[in-house]
Amino acid sequence: MYWAVIFSGVLLSNLILSPVLSQSTVASPEGFISISCGGLSGVDPITSLQWITDESHLQSFQSLSQEKVIITADVNYNESSPSLPNGEQLKTALVFLPIQMTRSKFCYNLPIAFNATEGSRNYLLRVMFPSQNLTVNGTALSGYATRFYLTVDSTYITTIELLPSMPQTIELVVSSMDNRFYVCLVPLEDKSSMPAISTLELRPFNPDSYGRTGQSKEKQQSSYLMLVDRLDFGGILDTESAPLRYPADPFDRIWLSPRIPEGAQFEAYNRTEDANLGYGGDSVYFPSAVMRSIWRGRNLSSTINFDVYVKRAKARRPLPTFWFQMLYSNVVSGAVNPHQSVRQIDGDLASVWSPFEVPITPGFVQIMSLDQVIGSDSLTITIEPNGTTEAPVLINAAEIHGEFAAVAVRTSKVDVDAVRKLYPNFASSSVDTAGDPCLPVPWGWLVCSIELPPTITQINLTGEGVAGVLPSVFGALSQLTILDLSENNFDGYFPDSLGGIRTLRELNLGHNKLHGELPLFSAKSLDNLVMLSLSSNMFRGTLDSLMEALDESIQNLDLSNNKFVGAVPWNIEVLENLETLDMSNNQLSSELAVNFSKLRNLKNLNLSLNNLNGTLPDSIWNSRNLQFVDLSNNKFVGPVPGNIELLENLENLDMSNNQLSSELEVNFSKLRNLKTLNLSLNKLKGTVPDSIWPDSIYNNRNLQFV
């Protein structure tokens, strides 16, 4: 089922409005962007449009160049290849080598003028891809997959497979969401493929251009059109001549003139003068150069037939429906008007539009068909005379597009603004920052929700060599569950805003250059944290406020290698699910006042390299799941507790370099899993108990006892 309509009107010469947004060149109309990818800037000798280089629009161009991810390649075609638009630019291509495999996509940022009051505007977007016959300094680029994805903003367009000897063109009518378009080349999922592109062109239409009558504004904004055919019937067929485009078409649409089949009942007619000709067609504006030429029946009984092949377009991507436009205007001077009807044949199905009279120019009839489903690989259009016609049938021009749904959203603006504050720190890094953070595929260091619009749920920048002051914007990421910025060169303070992310489950700021005291946290503000690591920084101050912020959900707590002072907070004992506690290499002091017996799940305890003193509390040895205990390099006194022997799972025990004294009264034979024991540099006395040499570890060379 589809919706069709016949419009009639008068061709007007003043229908073309001025596009907006200057592109800093007088050679091109405002709003035109023409990028010769991998090529040179300059004025096109055919269109007089200004070509520019990738540098101003390809995101991360400088770092991609420095890392030699992008190179310019020469493109070779068969000598028999037909002449194509942008032929000079198709001789080169910008190639993205998969040598680092760190980026999820490579994106061009195409700025546009966006008026919130006016709303969405349609644009022509044309992308041309080279053949796979690519060379650099005469050496073939081989060994890489040349299959990749093309996306526009948040929408998957198609999968590109470079052809052996022919270029490819994808032309779309796309709707703006805001003040930019992102056109991205996305490598295969394993990031092993080699995208390549030759040209990228953007042309603004008038505000009402390609508006689909009968469809809501919302539906039009959430759907794109993919060009199947754009036909100038009766146009110039000279193979040496360039196809009709700008400046004859102010929107730089490329019009092809189909050949008339041998033995056809119709012929070409081309009006030589422009009198009474203008731009016509509801919301389409067929240019006068297209309007002056027609296919026309040879006599009153002749019919006109042409086929529309949709198989190739369907192969590029699913196209649920199609949109047809056909224009009829009698440009034959002094002729009477033909009366005709149009039949459409799709396999075994046929439909007919109501008969109509084709008016003399400047009048026109426009036939439009929306939401049309095409079941076969091709469609036949037949134009038939009515019995009363006094002139042969005719047709001027036609456009056929496939229509498909677009994802008309971006990542939550709040989240985008937050992660964008990190960008200055990425200047010397290969970290992914092109296009939208989450759509259509997320950056490699992000995980996003599947809802629309998506939100950022995880950030993992571990080991990316990022430097700079840690921004205080993370609190805006209201759905963040994991934040891992470890092993970088961030400096500055602990961001207060992190205490406001109630969804946060894992926070790792370890191995940076952060300093200062921790903020004064609200009670239970980090109550959902399962893992917290602040290790290997320069934090100082006490830990009391942090312990108040944590709750029983915490399982791994690593505060090692900082400058924390004061006592080990007693309320650690309420963190009953704690499995790993590492506070080593700080400046903690005082006696241990923690009831460790409440930490029933504790497996790893490291309090070494502090200034802790007093006797070792018996409660430590009541944590029956302990496997690793390091209390070395402190000032503990008193005996080695006898109830150590209750720790059946203990594998490593280090209490060296303390002030422990008295005789050993531990039955070590019960510690059947013990692998490493270090009690050196204490004040122990008496004889070494025989129990320390149980059969299970007698031959274990890792055993240390000094």
pLDDT at res. 15: 31
Domain ranges of the chain: 3-11+212-216+222-405, 33-205, 409-566, 586-706
Given CA atoms 278, 284, 287, 292 in this order, what sign does their dihedral have?
Answer: negative
CA 515 from chain center: how many Å?
34
CA 564 from chain center: how many Å?
41
pLDDT at res. 23: 37
**Rounded (5°) CA angle 571-573-575:** 95
Mean pLDDT of the chain: 87
Encoded tokens for 205: 């239409």
pLDDT at res. 701: 41
Q: Do domains 33-205 and 409-566 have the same CATH topology?
A: no
CATH match of 586-706 with 3.80.10.10: yes
pLDDT at res. 292: 87
pTM: 0.86
Is the pLDDT assigned to residue 432 strictly greater than 80? yes
Question: What are the pLDDT digits (tens) for 113-167?
Answer: 877 666 678 999 999 999 999 999 999 998 888 999 999 999 999 999 999 989 9
* CATH architecture type of domain 409-566: Alpha-Beta Horseshoe (3.80)
Pairwise pLDDT comparison (417 vs 634), residue with the higher score:
634
Weakest-pLDDT range from 40-49, 269-278, 636-645: 269-278
pLDDT at res. 425: 66
* CATH code of the domain occupying 33-205: 2.60.120
Residue 24 host element (H or E): none
Question: What are the pLDDT digits (tens) for 642-696?
Answer: 888 888 899 999 999 999 998 888 888 788 889 899 999 999 987 776 666 545 4
* CATH code of the domain occupying 3-11+212-216+222-405: 2.60.120
Question: What are the pLDDT digits (tens) for 76-113?
Answer: 887 655 667 888 999 999 999 988 777 889 999 999 98
Assign 427 a pLDDT band (cuts: 50, 70, 90).
Answer: low
Per-residue burial over 543-560, b if 16 or more Cβ lie within 10 Å, else e, is bebbbbbbbebbbbbbbb
**Rounded (5°) CA angle 681-683-689:** 95
For residue 572, give the 3-state DSSP assignment.
Answer: helix
